[in-house]
Amino acid sequence: MKNLRWKVALIISTVILAIVFFLPNTPAFKYMPQWWQGNMPNRGISLGLDLQGGIYLLFEVEGDKAVAITTDRIAQRLKDILEKGNLGAEVRVEGTKIRISPNTLEIRKAIEEAYANLEVVPSDNELIVQLSPEEAKKIRNNATDQALETIRNRVDQFGVAEPVIHRQDENEIVVQLPGYKEPKRAVELIGKTAQLQFMLVDDDSPIAAELPSRIRPGEEKEVLEKFKDKIPPDDVILFQRVEIKETGEVYKRPFLLKKKVLLSGDLLTEARVAIDQRFNEPYVSITFNSTGAKIFEEVTGKYVKKRLAIILDDNVYSAPVIQDRISGGSAQITGSFSLAEAKDLAIVLKAGALPAPVKLIQNVTVGPSLGRDSIDAGKKAGVMAVLLVVVFMAFYYKVSGLIADLAMVLNVILLLGAMAALNATLTLPGMAGIVLAIGMAVDSNVLMFERMREELRAGKTPRAAVDSGYDKAFITIVDAHITTLITAAVLYQFGTGPIKGFAVTLFLGVLINLFTALVGTKTVFDLINSRKEVRKLSI
């Protein structure tokens, strides 16, 4: 009797707990007292993209660009090494190949000491090196992994609830933003490479004076074509977008910059939005780590009265004149952007730069009407499934069938409560999993009831038939549920998106089935048998 009380207490406790966790998904939650909403579970089950609508984005990570970026860095490093060694070499990058001339023994030795893993391409007049195919493949793979983490960080800081972000194939990343309705802003935030660089403006070159002070947007290619043969080998032309707020006019301003990157954004520790008190305009305040702060101080000390350009993704944001050495490792990025744009810029800088550009290859906005239709269809399927199972069990197994129906209702309550406790995302396949769990909820009881009928036909008393029926069916039920649990675990491990949602629902449903079948219904039978001597079992 003592064990029976504990079982009853356990069942009642789990039901209350499930209701508490599921309460945020019901209209009753908004009528709960403030202390309840502030201290008790308040998230519940989230609806997936297919149920509440939102945005589905598919990005392709340009792995070849990651290889090219790595090649550029190696070339820059080699150039510094050869300059320090006074070896008088010219270093050029063509695609994924680094060409060095002249091809002398000293230069080959210096390069081999710095980068022993570079592959030498046969050539007569110059030394050509490149990354090995294995190394290039590793860089592409790492680029996708790093891009996945960076995008996840950006979306987390963006504040979208329950996003689904995962890798697909070798170089694709899927982003699902349930409930979000600004696809353009999401694409800009996620797809921005955010390569922050500090480069010196080459005002000493005569070409700088020949550049137009302003051009119309779209004329950049004409300017680059006009000056392509005049630009010094170590320089590059980039553009700044300028908007005149009074008139709304937008124009581009070309800058001649030194190619050498003096400082990059990978040394950032903080990026936040602030408001300029003089002009009441937003800007982004950035802070470097100790290494970045030291480099920034050296650069600003070395190039006083020079212009230092702040560049993000090959776009010049500002190019202020360095008035004095700047210590402390802080700087400001100003520009003609709104508060929302400044906030997004701070997010991408804080989350880090993408290792390579990403290309949007699919952008699907799921309308809320599709979600409502799916929810309505799912509700109808669930209600129909419950009603049919209740009627069948009551008709075929009489009172015992009603006890199985009680276990099924208990199963649904506990399943929804468990999903709410885990803040799981309910998708359309997940709803199918719930309907499947409803059917499975009575499977175990059918097995036990048939064993009990056999025991009654053999002449046992109702109490002995119940105990014997549960004992004989126990192993069969556990075996069947374990195989389903393994299936659900495999689906979760190797599935993606909605498949994982189905796997979670199935896994929880099977576990709860075991509890309701082996503990729930048995407790009800024991309660009936404990009150009086039952002479006939309705089954």
pLDDT of residue 160: 67
pLDDT of residue 254: 92
pLDDT of residue 18: 92
- H helices present in 23-130, as ranges: 34-39, 49-52, 63-84, 105-114
Read off the pTM.
Answer: 0.64
The C-alpha atoms of residue 425 and residue 88 are separated, in whole angstroms, by 62
| Count of positions (residues) in the chain | 539
**Close Cβ partners of 453 (under 8 Å, ≥ 6 residues apart):** 539
The C-alpha atoms of residue 372 and residue 355 are separated, in whole angstroms, by 39
pLDDT of residue 244: 77
Please say whether the beta carbons of 62 and 356 come within 8 A: yes
Please say whether the beta carbons of 495 and 507 come within 8 A: no
Residue 279's alpha-carbon distances to 247, 283, 334, 356, 398, in angstroms, are: 17, 11, 11, 36, 80
Burial 247-276 (b: 16+ CB within 10 A, else e): eeeebbbbbbbbeebbbbbebbeebebeee
The C-alpha atoms of residue 49 and residue 371 are separated, in whole angstroms, by 8
Full pLDDT tens readout for the chain, 539 residues: 667 788 889 999 999 999 999 988 888 888 888 888 888 888 788 777 777 778 888 999 988 888 888 888 888 888 888 888 887 778 888 878 888 888 888 888 888 888 887 888 877 778 888 888 888 888 889 889 888 888 888 887 776 666 778 888 788 998 888 877 788 888 888 888 777 888 999 988 888 888 898 888 888 888 888 888 888 888 899 998 887 777 778 888 999 999 888 888 778 888 888 887 777 788 888 888 888 888 888 888 889 888 988 888 788 888 888 888 888 888 888 776 677 778 877 887 777 778 788 888 888 887 665 556 767 777 787 788 788 888 888 888 888 888 888 888 888 899 989 988 887 878 778 888 887 877 777 788 888 888 888 888 888 888 888 888 888 888 888 888 888 889 888 888 877 666 777 888 888 888 898 888 888 888 888 888 776 666 777 77
- H helices present in 228-338, as ranges: 290-302
The C-alpha atoms of residue 189 and residue 354 are separated, in whole angstroms, by 11
DSSP single-letter state for residue 500: H
pLDDT of residue 275: 83
pLDDT of residue 237: 92
- H helices present in 331-367, as ranges: 339-351
Query: pLDDT tens across 170-191, in order?
Result: 889 988 888 777 888 888 888 8
For residue 333, give the nearest of 236, 238, 240 by alpha carbon: 240
What kind and span of H or E run contains 529? helix 521-531
